[in-house]
Each structure stands twice: as C-alpha cells, then as structure tokens.
Amino acid sequence: MRPGPYARLLAALAAAGGNPASAHFRGQVAKGMLEESRADIAAHIGRLPSEIVFTSGATEAMNTAIIGPRLPEESTILANPTEHACALTALKRRGTRIEWLALDGYGRVDALAAARAIRAQGRRLGMLVVMAANNETGVVEPVSELAEAARTANPNVVVVSDLAAYAPSRQVAGVARHADLLAIAPHKLGGPAGIGVLVRRAGMPLDPLVTGGAQEYGVRAGTVPAALAVSAADAIVRAGADGLPEEISRLRDRFEARVVSAIPGARLIGEGADRIGVSCLLFPGLRSEDLLFLLDEAGVAASFGAACASGAFEPSHVLLAMGFSKTAALSSLRFSYGYGNTVSEIDSAAEALIAAVEKLGGVR
C-alpha cells in the first residue's frame, strides 16, 4: 500500500468502531466516514455520490454490472473477447445472447467493425461490455467512441467498462462520462485489497448479487467496511494528483527499451498502440514457466497471463483471441508497474530477464 492510504486506513480503523448502518453514535461516526469517502470518489470522477457503490472488489463489481441490469428478453450483448475472466464468466452466467467484437492488429477492439456490429443490432443491442484497458497487454480501448455509437443505435443500451487496469495509469473521468456501469479496484492504486467500487448511473435498476439488507442503495447487502472505504477513496483521489500515471509510463518505457534492445526476437504485444503501465512480451521458443522460475529466483515478480490465473499454465485467452498460437501464448510474460517501483528495480528486473533468456538458450 502507498503511505497515504495506509495511514488513512490505520486512522479510520481506530475511529470507525461501529456498523455504518447502525443508529447509535459509533455507527453514525462510521457512516459519516463512509459517506465522505463516497463523495470524494464521486467528485474525483465527475459523478454523484449516490452513484458510488462499495463492493468486495472489482470482480464483484463487474459481476454485478453484467448480471444485475434488466435487459429485454430479445437483447444481444456485444462484448470484447479479451475481457478479464470475471467479466467473461459473468457473461456466460447471465445467459443473454453474446456476439464477440472483432479485434485489430494491436488486440484492441476494431472500432470500424464494432460500429458495423452495433448498427446491425440496432434496438436489439442491450449491453456493450468493453474494458478501458486490457490487464494483460495494456492496450487502451476506445470506450467513449463505442459507447456513443451504441447509444445512437439504442438509447437504452447499458455500457459496462472495467477500469481496474486503467485507473492507475489514466484519469478515469473521461470513461466515467460515457459508461453506465464501471468497476474500479483500489488495490491497483496503492489502496487496500478487499474493497471495490461499482459506479452505477443514477436511476439504473440493478438486481443485487448479495441480498439481505438495504445497504449501498439496495445494490449490495452487508456491512460496509468504512475504514477500507476511507483508504480506497484516498488511493483513488491521490492516483491522479501526484504524478503516478506519468511515473508508471516512464518505468514501462525504460524496461521495455532495455529488454527489447538486448533480446533479439522478443516481441512486445501492442507495440505502437496507446497502452497503460503493463508490458506483455513474447519469447518465441521459450516457456513462460521456465522464465518465471528463473525470475523468481532473482527476486523479480512477473506473471503469466492475468494475475488471477498465473498459477495455472494455460495459454492466455487474450493472446488466443488476438490470433496467436497456443505455443506462442505459452511463451508470454506480463510485467506491471506501480507506486514504489524505482528505476534501480526496473533496471535489475530487465537484467534478470535478459539473463534468464540467455540461460535458456535465447529466443528461437
């Protein structure tokens, strides 16, 4: 965690001893902290406090965003095939007819092909699901452009966007203006794990996944952890105010330049596209698991595919959707950058990766 959100968490834990839903004075102290946090996030992203819903994490937020809306029976959902697994599984669980959007050479939704697909659906288009940036490749998606096209086809369409990977590297207000339902992961911003933010456009009915009480405007039952909300709000607001996005970009560019120049044949996925602070590299002829073993020995934390699936060596669904073979996908590594990373660490990680590739015989 970053020092600011961590300090706020400790202070809030000491002060918020009650349930925010309770009427007694301890509960009201916690409620005041919770509502202040809600207002801070809303002001930062240009939305209303009543549109901010706290969840257990971005996974629950995306599940609620996809499963919760009430769509007409004959609706079709247009979705990005490279979405995070939490979105893909929620789409399958929902059971509504899905058509997958085509990708361009960068692994980004092809805007022209998507516009044609949107026009073809017309009023049948019930939901558009497009993440703001891919968590594996870092490629930024044209959410605003697609949302406008979708609303032209059907003013009642529900636009859903996952901002978990996007928020650390960009201001989120632009995407927030165009999407009806958004998910934010505070721990990606140096905040606490165990809490997420669902942004719901005012007046949009949602069927809750977690039922019981009427907390969070009836969208999510259960006692809301006020202290985590305070820390999460601090992390979200700080991320856009202290130069974190710019620092992440500098670290990414430095790492990629050193690695690509030193390893002939290494391939940077999404190169040339607008990307966030994620590097996805292919090392043809090598296996991801071998590289990860050597990197782990060197003290470098890298991932294979999404972090949620890094314990299972199956080819990345993102790379497969982009047209890469299973063998190529099994040679990929993902590196993320964030608060606390130093130039020295970035250089050490690059040198460790270069040494690992050399030890395994180089790219073939």
Active-site residue list: 308
248 burial class (0-12, 13-18, 19+ CB within 10 angstroms)? buried
β-bridge partners, 100: 79
Tokens representing residue 137 in the block: 């490749």
Task: Answer yes or no: are the C-beta atoms of 81 and 100 closer than 8 Å.
Answer: yes
What stretches of the chain adopt beta strand conformation (E)?
Answer: 52-55, 76-79, 97-100, 125-129, 158-162, 181-184, 196-200, 267-268, 278-282, 332-336
Q: Which of 107, 124, 97, 113 is nearest to 146 (CA)?
A: 113
β-bridge partners, 140: 133
**Residues recorded for the chain:** 364
Tokens representing residue 49 in the block: 């406090």
Q: How far apart are CA 10 and CA 61, in angstroms?
A: 25
Q: Which of 105, 90, 96, 103 is nearest to 162 (CA)?
A: 90
